[in-house]
């Protein structure tokens, strides 16, 4: 079987290339580092500091891989897909995705609102979502299986519904912000977002209370929502057809190069299906474990197994976010939105959107999703994952329902049909992504901290990570250096005003 390293390896995928690229990329940074020396596996193993494996290593269970991707959610899958696509000459077998829960019962993606928008204030966030938009529009073709024998293959349908996002401003400050954001969005290549005055809003959305609104920003195309599960399934099937290996397991320990200051990870022991441990000798590791990225980082750093942990943990916390599925009494006629774009209420930040499609005869079905982020002073990391077993109904009673009723009077007559909770992978520094090598483990790439917009950014994030790995540590398609880890180390947050 062909692997990256046995056929004309891209420079960055060979150990030498990796070391060179890491040294080069960080040379210009304030985090001082020396390029790591190339090490043959035998020398490396002598030098390695091993975190004591908790589980016995099974027999004949050492595997050489180019990229070990930890976390098989949209970010990990997109990374694997883009890596395999970038190295078409190879068969993908050097890429391994480790996912501890193939049912995705508690992954952020499957519990999310499935939204995508270009309405951000940072150019890079707009650009990432533009790529996401294009990817979703072409998903049926991009994710068509490589397997020629698979004649019965079902076409991937991510059910991208381009019904838009509507941001509303109720103050002069809010209006100025929407105008500034609109300029940024246009400069970034997004021309589908229109600013609407109160009259236009009333004409377009007759169910909306606009009495206190000064401006709206509406993305008519390119924004909306899609089925996260279908994207996960489609990416996984495609990756499988490209030769990517999937492992149902989780990392339990690692070995690192103790003598070189690059601190590279040499191997990762993965407990597979709670039975055997397989050792993966790695060229690089991608941390795509979402809200649990720090647990993975600790294992890679060797903490708890005699290692020293990290001076720079990832500032990402698992924070609970709730979604309520509601039904509105449709006998109220035109007062009930037939199709509501994802509408973000000013001040409260409460959002709602239609769920499901309109009826066969064009009638309103009256189903909506809604939610809100908790107030800053009560928003915190959760330690006990059982908290995800229930949504916070106090939030519905005290914040969401009053805001909905004010914005759409018909929502005075609604019923909560169901609710659930998931995790934001919340970057406590600036609520933006971190896409970079870790300064203390220079073959570990973080793709973390997307803080509630990682699903829509997963196509661009996966492409960016695969470029870092394959293109001498550089971004090629989009310059995403703004999402560096250096900003975290130097406490230089980048603020996005369009966080929902």
Query: What residue ranges bind ligand FAD (CB under 6 A)?
Result: 70-76, 98-101, 104, 107-109, 111-115, 250-251, 288-292, 295-296, 321, 323, 422-425, 450, 452-456, 458
128: nearest Cα among 439, 440, 499, 433: 433
- Tell the residue number behind the tokens 């099937």, with chain if given: 237
What distance in Å separates the CA atoms of residue 233 and residue 238, rounded to the nearest whole number? 8
Residue 211 CB-density burial (10 A; 0-12 exposed, 13-18 middle, 19+ buried): exposed
DSSP per-residue string spanning 138-203:
THHHHTS-S-TT-TTPPPP----B---EEEEE-SHHHHHHHHHHHHHHHHTT---EEEE-HHHHHH
* Min dist. Cβ of residue 489 to ligand FAD (A): 21
| Nearer Cβ to ligand FAD (44/271) | 271
User: In the bound complex, what is the minimum distance in angstroms from residue 330's beta carbon to ligand FAD?
Assistant: 25
Q: Of 76 and 439, which CB lies nearer to ligand FAD in the complex structure?
A: 76
Closer CB to ligand FAD, 264 or 453, in the complex: 453
CB of 458 to ligand FAD, least distance (A): 6
Q: Which residues pair with 269 in a beta bridge?
A: 253, 279
Tokens representing residue 84 in the block? 């395999």
Name the residue nearer to ligand FAD (CB basis): 48 or 446: 446
Minimum distance from residue 359 beta carbon to ligand FAD (Å)? 25
Instruction: Kindly tell me which of 41 and 295 has the beta carbon lying closer to ligand FAD.
Output: 295
User: In the structure encoding, which two tokens stand for residue 311, read together?
Assistant: 């001076």
| Residue number with CB closer to ligand FAD (150 or 389) | 389
For ligand FAD, which is the closer residue by CB, 104 or 120? 104
Distance in Å, CB of 92 to ligand FAD, minimum: 19
Give me the least distance between CB of 73 and ligand FAD, in Å please: 2
* H/E stretch holding 67: strand 57-70
Closest separation between CB of residue 392 and ligand FAD, Å? 12
- Give the angle subtended at the CA of 72 by the CAs of 66 and 73, to the nearest 5°: 135
For ligand FAD, the nearest residue by Cβ is: 73
Burial 219-231 (b: 16+ CB within 10 A, else e): bbebbbbbbbebb
């Amino acid at each position: 079987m062909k692997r990256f390293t046995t056929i004309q390896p891209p420079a960055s995928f060979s150990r030498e290339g990796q070391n060179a690229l890491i040294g080069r990329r960080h040379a210009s940074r304030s985090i001082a580092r020396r390029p790591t020396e190339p090490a043959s596996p035998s020398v490396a193993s002598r030098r390695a500091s091993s975190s004591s494996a908790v589980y016995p290593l099974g027999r004949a269970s050492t595997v050489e891989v180019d990229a070990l991707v930890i976390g098989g959610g949209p970010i990990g899958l997109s990374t694997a897909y883009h890596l395999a696509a970038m190295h078409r000459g190879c068969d993908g077998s050097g890429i391994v995705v480790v996912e501890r829960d193939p049912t995705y019962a508690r992954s952020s993606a499957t519990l999310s609102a499935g939204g995508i928008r270009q309405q951000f204030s940072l150019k890079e966030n707009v650009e990432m979502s533009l790529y996401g938009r294009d990817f979703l529009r072409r998903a049926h073709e991009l994710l068509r299986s490589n397997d020629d024998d698979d004649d019965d293959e079902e076409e991937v349908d991510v059910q991208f519904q381009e019904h838009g996002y509507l941001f509303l401003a109720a103050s002069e400050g809010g209006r100025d912000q929407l105008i500034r954001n609109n300029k940024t969005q246009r400069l970034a290549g997004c021309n589908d977002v229109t600013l609407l005055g109160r009259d236009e809003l009333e004409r377009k959305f007759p169910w909306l209370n606009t009495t206190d609104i000064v401006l709206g920003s509406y993305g008519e195309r390119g924004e909306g929502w899609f089925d996260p599960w279908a994207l996960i399934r489609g990416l996984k099937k495609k990756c499988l057809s490209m030769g990517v290996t999937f492992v149902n397991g989780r990392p339990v320990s690692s070995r690192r190069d103790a003598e070189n200051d690059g601190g590279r990870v040499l191997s990762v022991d993965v407990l597979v299906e709670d039975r055997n441990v397989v050792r993966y000798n790695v060229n690089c590791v991608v941390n795509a474990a979402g809200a649990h990225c720090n647990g993975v980082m600790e294992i890679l750093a060797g903490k708890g197994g005699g290692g020293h942990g990290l001076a720079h943990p990832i500032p990402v916390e698992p924070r609970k976010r709730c979604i309520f599925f509601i039904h509105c009494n449709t006998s109220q006629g035109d007062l009930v939105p037939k199709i509501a774009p994802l509408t973000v209420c000013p001040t409260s930040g409460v959002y709602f959107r239609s769920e499901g499609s309109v009826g066969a005869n064009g009638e309103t079905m009256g189903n909506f999703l809604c939610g809100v982020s908790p107030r800053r002073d009560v928003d915190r990391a959760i330690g006990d994952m059982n908290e995800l077993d229930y949504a916070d109904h106090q939030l519905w009673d005290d914040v969401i329902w009053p805001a909905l009723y004010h914005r759409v009077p018909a929502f005075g007559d609604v019923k909560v049909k169901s609710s659930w909770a998931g995790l934001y992978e919340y970057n406590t520094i600036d609520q933006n992504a971190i896409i970079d090598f870790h300064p203390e483990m220079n073959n570990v790439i973080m793709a973390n901290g997307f803080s509630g917009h990682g699903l829509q950014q997963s196509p661009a994030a996966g492409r960016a990570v695969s470029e870092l790995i394959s293109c001498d540590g550089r971004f090629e398609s989009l310059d995403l250096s703004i999402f560096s880890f250096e900003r975290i180390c130097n406490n230089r947050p980048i603020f996005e005003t369009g966080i929902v």
